[in-house]
Structure 1
Amino acid sequence: MIHAKPFDFPYDGRLDAAKTALVVIDLQEDFLSPTGYFARHGYDPAPLRAILPTVSRLIAACREAGVRVIHTRQGYRADLADMTPYEKWRRRRAGLEGTDILLRSSPGFQIVPEIDVRPEDIVVDKTCNGAFTYTDFEHVLRAQGITHLLFSGCTTDVCVHTTLREACDRNFQCLTIADACASGDAYAHAAALHMVTVEQGIFGVLADSTAVLAGLAELGRRA
């Protein structure tokens, strides 16, 4: 088990590598680059970049323990055919019209090189904040027999939390790794982490990477 709040994970004490996946959300150039989408909105990407070593350690530990690694990427088609009028309006309002930011055809769509993405990893591309919306994410999880999800990535208050809520509503068992998630807004980050634990774990449980790494190491020894 992994020591977590408000209860240890998983609740029944049955941590199974074959049924568990680490979800690494949107660690892309567009969010972490000083010239990307996030920076253009006036946010400092430094807190996002600060979690990269921790996420890398988690990825390595998951591979050692036999836990699947799933990456998500957010962006739109190059022809904008999947972008609604409201989304286009927001894009213009943000001064992004005519740029390739958040387009799947752009270099900014790619995951940053500090994160080791391997052929055996699963990559889910999305247009929405939540990874379940208009994607095959749930089908992939069900097909792989995955029932337990460990959450990392950015941003804690938007894409991480939206995907976490979607997963909980689909009865996946969820753990959010506090120091492996980040946001450009410190208040929103702290609030999003706090919300995981309210009502005795309404959105699963919260743990730090040290506890998760210890649990993964135990899984590896058992394997």
Structure 2
Amino acid sequence: MPAPRPVTVPAAPQRLTLDLARTALVVVDMQNDFCSPKGWLASIGLDVSGTDRLVASLAETVPALRAAGVPVVWLTWASRPDRANIPPNVLHAYDIAGEGGGVGSVLPGGRSPVLEEGSWGAALVEGLEPAAGDIHVTKQRMSGFFDTPLDSVLRNLRVDTVLFTGVNADQCVLATLTDAACLGYDAVLLEDGVATTSPEFCLRATLYNVERCFGFVARGADLVAAVRDSAAAPADRGVPARSRSSACTV
């Protein structure tokens, strides 16, 4: 087992100490169809303008955590071309009138079938660059744990704590985080690493429920600062995580 590497960050509902040696970062659905002004959600009239802020934030957080040895998992939606494994309730998403504008459809003027594996829409949005050692997991449901190898990957990495970022905060991010909590992982939502095209009250409700029911809410910027401070500190300055009684340790 790797030696513990504890860092402490402000969080809700209380200050949090986590072990970088047992932590992974999951980036959810940062894809053209969800984030680009030329993608699926923008084409059906949803506001994706908050994605620019999010990409900039993740462009700082992801490399810093990767450099600290935290595994980075890119969790993305990639549907079969024949949509054979997608049930009606998923096809219904964002196609509430049932007029054929959902997953796998080709919209008027669209670049590619919506979220189809190998398509432009399913590719990561510009500004985010995976590294050679990063892990890619694809899904076809709101939760990244259903019918995917995500749980096996995290357990093989000996991960206890999962940091969640991406879109939409109240949909695929929350569904994946909820399943992580139910599976026994310590779940941390990075508030400055998520966004949604839903109304603002949906994001507020997500943050409320995560910090009260499913885990913790922290900020990627605070975590990056703590990681850098830890790397710069003398080796004998560290304090075992479980001795810090004022923090909740995961």
- In the TM superposition, residue 93 of structure 1 has moved relative to its aligned partner by 2.9
Conserved 8 A contact 1:152-1:181: yes
Q: Distance in 2 between matches of 1:20 and 1:3?
A: 17
From 80, 93, 96, the counterpart of 2:99: 93
- In the TM superposition, residue 4 of structure 1 has moved relative to its aligned partner by 0.7
Q: Distance in 2 between matches of 1:16 and 1:55?
A: 20
Aligned to 1:2: 9
Which amino acid is the alignment partner of residue 93 of structure 1?
E
**Superposition pairs for residues 111-190 of structure 1, below 5 Å?**
111-185=124-198, 186-190=200-204
Q: Distance in 1 between matches of 2:57 and 2:146?
A: 27
Conserved 8 A contact 1:29-1:110: yes
**TM-score, normalised via structure 2 length:** 0.80
Unaligned runs of 5+ in 1: none
Deviates more, 1:85-94 or 1:149-158: 85-94
Which amino acid is the alignment partner of residue 80 of structure 1?
R
Quickly say closer, same or farther: Cα 1:98–1:183, change in 2 above 3 A: closer
Which has the higher Rg, Structure 1 or Structure 2? 2
Q: Distance in 2 between matches of 1:210 and 1:125?
A: 27
Conserved 8 A contact 1:126-1:134: yes
- In the TM superposition, residue 95 of structure 1 has moved relative to its aligned partner by 2.4
From 204, 225, 229, the counterpart of 1:214: 225
Q: Distance in 1 between matches of 2:159 and 2:168?
A: 23
Deviates more, 1:78-87 or 1:136-145: 78-87
Kindly indicate whether residue 44 of structure 2 is the aligned counterpart of residue 41 of structure 1: yes
Alignment size in residue pairs: 216
Quickly say closer, same or farther: Cα 1:194–1:115, change in 2 above 3 A: same
Of all paired residues, the percent bearing the same amino acid is: 29
Conserved 8 A contact 1:6-1:197: yes
Conserved 8 A contact 1:36-1:108: yes
Which amino acid is the alignment partner of residue 99 of structure 2?
R
**TM-score, normalised via structure 1 length:** 0.89
Aligned partner of residue 44 in structure 1, secondary structure: coil
Deviates more, 1:135-144 or 1:28-37: 28-37
Aligned to 2:65: 62
Conserved 8 A contact 2:90-2:141: no
Aligned to 2:25: 22
Deviates more, 1:181-190 or 1:151-160: 181-190
Q: Distance in 1 between matches of 2:91 and 2:14?
A: 43
Aligned to 2:208: 194
Deviates more, 1:27-36 or 1:1-10: 1-10
Residue-by-residue CA offset, 1:10-50 (whole Å, 9 max, x unaligned): 4xxxx322211111111001101223221133211111232
Aligned partner of residue 110 in structure 1, secondary structure: coil
Which amino acid is the alignment partner of residue 218 of structure 2?
A
More helix by share: 1
Conserved 8 A contact 2:192-2:221: no
From 43, 54, 74, the counterpart of 2:77: 74
- In the TM superposition, residue 60 of structure 1 has moved relative to its aligned partner by 1.5
Residue-by-residue CA offset, 1:48-98 (whole Å, 9 max, x unaligned): 232111111111110221111111101311122212244445555352464
- RMSD of aligned alpha carbons: 1.9
Q: Distance in 2 between matches of 1:73 and 1:66?
A: 22
Conserved 8 A contact 1:21-1:148: yes
Conserved 8 A contact 2:164-2:189: yes
Conserved 8 A contact 2:61-2:221: no
Kindly indicate whether residue 116 of structure 2 is the aligned counterpart of residue 103 of structure 1: yes
Which amino acid is the alignment partner of residue 3 of structure 1?
P
Aligned to 1:51: 54
